[in-house]
Amino acid sequence: MNSVAERFMRYAVVSTASDPDSSTSPSSSRQFDLLKGLEKELIELGLEDVFLSRTGVLYATVPGGISGDVIGLIAHVDTSPESPGEGVAPQLHRNWDGLPILLNKEVLIDPAECADMLRYKGGTVITSDGSTLLGADDKAGVAIIMETCKWLIENPAIRRPKVVIAFTPDEEVGRGVENFDVDRFGADFAYTVDGGEVTEVSSETFNAWSADWSITGREVHPGSAAGSMINAVRIAGELISLMRSEEMPENSSGRDGYDYPLFVKGTTGSAEVKIILRDFTTEGMMKRRRRMEAIRDCLASLFPGSQIELILKEQYSNPGEILKKDRRLVDYALEGMKRSGIEVREGSIRGGTDGSRLSFMGVPTANLPTGGELFHSRREWVAEEGLSIALDGLKNTLIIWGEKL
């Protein structure tokens, strides 16, 4: 296999799932297993100012580069807690015939459900064994950045900008840059390498809010519950039924936003519901928040005597308006990917990256692809050839920055 694919598979077997219920930073100590390994590799490669913070952010500087704008490269080491992430066993599907890949009796990867998978017919597709996710989101990005650092160190004569890197924890639970030191990072612009198909450079993400519900009912023996019981589980069910099914993730695409009931648990006495809200526009997000508040008021009137608390919290914002102010970050990346021999477009990622928040912290950040799809699931995959295309696109992008300085 090529070196970036080999590197990715080595990182993939390290368990790094983040924990949404933890208040520590990182949210899971196992993320340090990969971070400490990367710290050692960066030092061995010859990077400077290598520093791993106690909150799990790893910084480094590639020596060399010409004066001018400093370009940062970012990827996150954690994997999604939404699918099993312990004991990842990467599988190679060489000379893939373009047909659906059956991993086990429960998990089938159908190329018809993927935007760009058939590009790799005849090549090598990397998956898990179907019992876990793969971790391409975002260990593929980590591997691409590490290979880029190696290439820069081995080719000091290349005209390119000064390059700094950062690997973050907890991106999958919305806390990737919670403890990020922008001054230590030192970048004027940055790229997250956290995208999917190689045909897209992303200049927009969702605006994102969470809606956390706490419902308190009244417990009574069901045999004598008439006129007395207030069932928190029933209220939780009514809450979800009042949401618009046509605006849930399974019914949205493109630039549609969504309301996603993510988690429910409860008893008669109390229940919790976690919902996430996503929209590309500020106006659309405001409507979604108001709709949650209207549902709260409706439930309070339907179930007198209950206590219904709704906490709305901003998670990240769409950096699109910021990136429009200086088009170089996106335009150079589009040209860099084109030089890799593919047709490429500017797109909007239906999710968020560390760059969503970094752009509002003073470091405008666009998102580059990795060559995989179906992230956060046991059907997750990445192609060896896709990793190579993404790597070449990043290299070309840095060369273009050097040409323009």
List helix spans (H) across 216-306.
232-242, 282-302
One domain for residues 96 and 235: no
Q: Which pLDDT score is estimated for 341?
A: 94
Q: Is the peptide bond before 138 cis (omega within 30 degrees of 0)?
A: yes
Q: Which of 316, 333, 355 is the last residue of a domain?
A: 316
Q: Which pLDDT score is estimated for 365?
A: 97
One domain for residues 267 and 386: no
One domain for residues 330 and 216: no
The whole model's pTM is what?
0.90
One domain for residues 337 and 308: no
Token pair recorded at residue 336: 């860099």
CA distance 52 to 43: 12
One domain for residues 296 and 358: no
Q: Which pLDDT score is estimated for 321?
A: 87
One domain for residues 268 and 396: no
Residue 348 CA neighbour count, 13 Å, CB half: 19
DSSP class of residue 174? T
pLDDT tens for the chain, 405 residues long, are: 899 999 999 999 999 999 998 999 999 999 999 999 999 999 999 999 999 999 999 999 999 999 999 999 999 999 999 999 999 999 999 999 999 999 999 999 999 999 999 999 999 999 999 999 999 999 999 999 999 999 999 999 999 999 999 999 999 998 999 999 999 999 999 999 999 999 999 999 999 999 999 999 999 999 999 999 999 999 999 999 999 999 999 999 999 999 999 999 999 999 999 999 999 999 999 999 999 999 999 999 999 999 999 999 999 999 998 999 999 999 999 999 999 999 999 999 998 889 999 999 999 999 999 999 999 999 999 999 999 999 999 999 999 999 999
Number of domains comprising the chain: 2
Q: Does 78 participate in catalysis according to the annotation?
A: yes
Q: Which of 264, 295, 316 is the last residue of a domain?
A: 316
User: Could you say which of 171, 354, 380, 384 is catalytic?
Assistant: 171
One domain for residues 111 and 157: yes
CATH value at residue 87: 3.40.630.10
For β-strands 365-368 and 189-193, DSSP reports them as: parallel
One domain for residues 358 and 249: no
One domain for residues 236 and 377: no
One domain for residues 81 and 151: yes
Q: Which domain holds residue 269?
A: 207-316
Encoded amino acid at 378, one letter: R
For CA atoms 265, 266, 272, 273, the dihedral sign is positive
User: Could you say which of 19, 78, 259, 384 is catalytic?
Assistant: 78
**Phi and psi at residue 372, in whole multiples of 5°?**
-135, 175
One domain for residues 276 and 150: no
